[in-house]
Amino acid sequence: MKKILILFAHPAFQKSRINKTLLEAIKNLEGVTINNLYEKYPDFFIDVPAEQKLLSQHDVIVWHHPFYWYSAPALIKEWMDLVLQHGYAYGTHGRALEGKWAMQCISSGGSKAVYSAEGKNHYTVNEFLAPFNQSATLCRMNYLPPFVVHGSHLLGAAELKKHAEDYRAVIELLRDSKINPDLFNSIEYINEIIEQNA
Amino acid sequence: MHNQEFFLNALIYLGAAVVSVPIAKKLGLGSVLGYLLAGIIIGPFVLKLVGTEAGEVMHFAEFGVVLMLFIIGLELEPKLLWKMRRSIFGLGGLQVLITAGIITGVSLLLNFQLNRAVAIGLILALSSTAIVLQTLSEKGLMRNIAGRSAFSVLLFQDMAVIPILALLPIIATLGAPADLSDTSLNNIGQVAQMPGWLQLLIIIGAITVLVIIGRFAARHIFRLVAETGLREVFVALALLMVIGIALGMDAIGLSPALGTFIAGVVLADSEYRHELETTIDPFKGLLLGLFFISVGASINFNLLIEDPWVIILFVFLLIFIKFVVLLILGRMFRLKKGFEFLFAFLLAQASEFAFVLISFSKQNKLFDEQTSGMLLLVVTLSMAISPLLLIFNDKAVSPILARWQNKLEYDEIEPEENPVILAGFGRFGLTVGRILLANGFKVTILDNNPSNVETLRKYGFKLYFGDITRPTMLEKAGIENARLLILSMAEHENALKVAEIVRKKYSHVKILARAKDIFHVFEYLNLNISDVERENFHSASELGNRALVELGFSKYEAYRATRTFKHHEDQVTDELYQHWLEDQNKFIQETRRFEEQVKETLQAEKNYSIHETDCAWDVDSLKNEAKKEK
C-alpha cells in the first residue's frame, strides 16, 4: 500500500466549496495524510525539517490547490523554495524523493475549453503546469497527470459530489497501486481513468 | 432627640476627616497625618469641638486596628507566613528585647525605679501597627522588603502584648507592694489570674478552635448567607465574626488583633476572601481614621506648654533610640540600599498599645498621674511625628543614600567598543538582547536592578550594574563608538531623557526604544525617533489572534486579520501624532482621541475585510462575472 501526502494550500479555504468537498472525500482514507499548509504556516514560516520528514514518510505527493494565476497560491511556491533543497531533493546527492510519485489536484474557475490554443487562455492546463512537472522530474519523481476540476464556480451539488467521488477513487487506486503506469502517458488528466473504468 | 450628642460628634469627626485628609494628601503628607491634624484642630486646645470623650472614642476606634489585621491576614497565605518566621521571631524578638533594654537603662539614668523603668521600656518598645500598616498600604509598600520586615516586627509585637500585659501587674508588686485588690486585673478577664500553664493551654485551645472553624465550618456558613443574596446580611455576618473573635480573644487575654489576624490567615485561601475584604475594608478605614483623629484630639498640650523642652527631648530620645536599634537590626537582617532606613523610620514611633498599657499600669499603681500623663504625651507626639519622619526619609535621606551608593557600587565597564548598547535587561530587554546575542552580535548590557543583574549573571549573561541616565555611564558604555542604543528599560521617563541627551550629543547613534503606550511613542516621535515598539502591543495582538482562531477563523484568516489590524494601527499612529502635536495639553482632547482611535479601527475592520482582500481567485466579484458570462 502506498502512503499519500496531500499538500493542501488554499488561502481562502472558507470560501471554496469545491476544495472543501474534495478534501472531505479523502480525509478519512487509510494511508492518506492531509498537510494543510495555510493552516500550519499562516506566517509563511515553514518548518523545513518537519516537512522533509513528512515527505520521507510518504510515497505519493499531491499538491492540492486552486489554480491561481495559472499556477499555485504563494505558499506552495514558498514550500517548494524551502523544502526542496539542493542535496536533499535534487543534485548529485539529493535523492530523498527518488522514485516517489508527484501529482497535482487543481480547481479552476475556467472551463476546459478556454485552456487551449484557441481559447482565451491560449495554453492547456498541462502546459501551464510545466514548472511543477519539471520540478518533480528534477527531483527524480514520476510526475503524474493532474486531477483537474474545471468551472469550479458554477458547479451544482450533483457535480460537486461526482468530482469528490472521482478524487477519492483516484487516490484509492494510487494507494493500492491499481493503475497501470503505462496509462499515464496516454491521458491528459488523471480524471479520465475513472471515466474509462466506468 | 436622644442621640443628638452622638450625631453631633459624628458630624464633627466626619467633617474634620473629610476636610483635612484630602488637604493632607494633596500636600503629600499622607492620610495619617491628615487625621492627626484634624484631631488636633477639633480637640480641646484649638477649636474645643470635642473634649474628654476623645479617649472613649479612641478605645472604640481601636477596633479599626483589629479589622486591619483581619484584612492583612486575608492577604497572607499561611505558606507566606511560614516563610517569614525568621524575620518575625528573629528580627521582631530582638527588636523588642533590645529596645526595651535600652529604654529601661535610659529610664534608670533618669532616676526611675527599676520596676517602672522596665515597664516603660516594655511599653515604649512597641511600634504603632495602625500608623505603619496604613502607611504601608497607602504607599504600596506591603510587598516591599522593608515593608515586609516592618510587618514581621509588628506581628511579633502584637504577640508580645500578651506576656507584657501579664507581666505588668507582677512588676508593679515587685517595686512598691501595692494593694492588688485595688487593681483592675479583673478587667482583662479571668484567664489572666490562672496559672501560666493553664493560660497557655487555653490560648492554644482557642487558636485551634479558631483554625478548625475557619477551615471547615466558615465556608458553609458564608455560602448559606451568600445564597440569600442579601448583601447586608453578609456584611453583618462578616462583622459578627470579627467582633466575636475579638471579644473571645479578649476574654482569654489574647490580643484581639492577633486573634482576628489568625482568622484572616485561615480564611486567606477561601473563595470568600475578596468579598470579606471589600466588606470589612470601609469599616476599617473609617475606624482607623477615627482612631487617628482621637489620638490627635487627646494630645495634652497643657503638659507640653508647661515643660516643652523636656517633652520634646524625651520624644526625640525615644525616636532616636528606636531608630538606631531598628537600623542596626535591619542591617543584621540583610536590609540594604536604603531599605534599612525606610524600615527604621517606619517603626520609630510608639504604639497605640501603649495607651492601653499605660492606663493599665496606672491602675496597677505602677505610674503616678504625672508619669502616665507625660508618657501618654510622649507616645502621642511620637506617633504624630512619625509620618513626618517618612517624608523626611523620602525627600532627604533616600536621595542622598541613592547618590552615595551609586558612586560606590556601579560596575566598571570594560572598554569593548561593542556596536550595540542595551539599557535595561528585564522582561523586555532580555528578549531583545537574546535575539542579538543569538545572532552573534556583541552587546554591552546595562541594568539598574542589582538583584536582576545578579540573577542573570548566574545564567551566563555578561551584563553590568549601572544607571544609563548618568552621562558618565553612557561614555563608559562606549556610546562614542556604538551604532545602536536600545532603550529597553522600564523607567520610561528616564529613557526619554537619555534619548534626548544622546540625540544631541551623539547624533551618529541610532536609538531604538521600548514605549509604555502610544503617548510615550509620541514623545519619541517628538525627538525624531521612530524605531519604537509599544511594550505589550504585539503580545496582546497575538492573543487576539489566538482568540480569532478559537472563534472559528482559519489560522491564515486570523493571521491576516491581526496583521491588518496592526497595519492599520501603525497608520493611525502617525495621524494621531499630528493631532497630539497640535494640542497636547488638553485632557478632553486626549480622551476624544482615544475614542477616535477605537472608532477608526473598528471602521477599518468593516471597510477592509480580509474575506474580500485575500481570496485571490475566489472573490465574489469574480464568481459573479463567471456566472454572468454563462
DSSP A66-103: E-BTTB--HHHHHHHHHHS-BTTTBSTT--TTTT-EEE
Q: Are A109 and B617 in contact (CB under 8 A)?
A: yes
Would residue A72 be called left, alpha or beta, if left means φ above 0 and alpha means ψ between -120 and 50 degrees?
Answer: beta
Query: Confidence band (pLDDT; 50, 70, 90) for B66?
Result: confident
> Of A42, A66, A69, which has the smallest distance from its Cβ to B618's Cβ?
A66
**Mean of the per-residue pLDDT values of chain B:** 80
Which carries the bigger pLDDT value, residue B401 or residue B238?
B238
Q: Indicate the residue type of A58.
A: H
Question: What CATH code is carried by the domain that includes residue A130?
Answer: 3.40.50.360
Chain B residue whose CA is closest to A14? B554
Distance separating alpha carbons of residues B447 and B465, to the nearest angstrom: 5
CB contact under 8 A, B626 and A109: yes
The range of the structural domain enclosing residue A95 comes to 4-197
Query: Confidence band (pLDDT; 50, 70, 90) for B52?
Result: low
Q: State residue B299 phi and psi, 5-degree precision.
A: -65, 125
Query: Confidence band (pLDDT; 50, 70, 90) for B177?
Result: very low
Query: Confidence band (pLDDT; 50, 70, 90) for B589?
Result: low
Q: Å from B469 to nearest chain A CA? A: 39
Residue-wise pLDDT for B478-489, tens only, equals 898 899 999 999
Q: What is the pLDDT of residue B616?
A: 60
Distance separating alpha carbons of residues B32 and B494, to the nearest angstrom: 32
Query: Confidence band (pLDDT; 50, 70, 90) for B607?
Result: low
- Extract the C-alpha cell encoding B609: 475585510
Distance separating alpha carbons of residues B528 and B538, to the nearest angstrom: 22
Element (H, E) at B97: helix B92-109
Residues of B with CB under 8 A from a CB of A: 554-560, 611, 614-618, 622-623, 626-627, 630
Domain count along chain A:
1
CB contact under 8 A, A11 and B555: no
**Mean of the per-residue pLDDT values of chain A:** 93
Distance separating alpha carbons of residues B434 and B424, to the nearest angstrom: 13
Q: Indicate the residue type of B149.
A: S
* Percent share of chain B, pLDDT over 70: 87
Average pLDDT for B18-33: 76
Q: Are B76 and B265 in contact (CB under 8 A)?
A: yes
> Of A11, A39, A42, which has the smallest distance from its Cβ to B616's Cβ?
A11
Interface ipTM = 0.84
Q: Are B325 and B102 in contact (CB under 8 A)?
A: yes
Q: How many residue contacts between A and B have a Cβ separation below 8 Å? A: 54
Q: Å from A154 to nearest chain B CA? A: 7
Given the DSSP bridges, would you call strands B443-447 and B420-423 parallel, antiparallel or unpaired?
A: parallel
CB contact under 8 A, A43 and B559: yes
Residues 6+ apart with CB under 8 A from B274: none
Q: Are B577 and B597 in contact (CB under 8 A)?
A: no
- Extract the C-alpha cell encoding B71: 484584612
CB contact under 8 A, B623 and A109: yes
Distance separating alpha carbons of residues B437 and B452, to the nearest angstrom: 18
pTM given for the model: 0.53
Residue-wise pLDDT for B318-377, tens only, equals 999 999 998 888 888 877 777 888 888 888 988 877 877 787 787 777 888 788 888 888
For residue B562, is pLDDT > 80?
yes
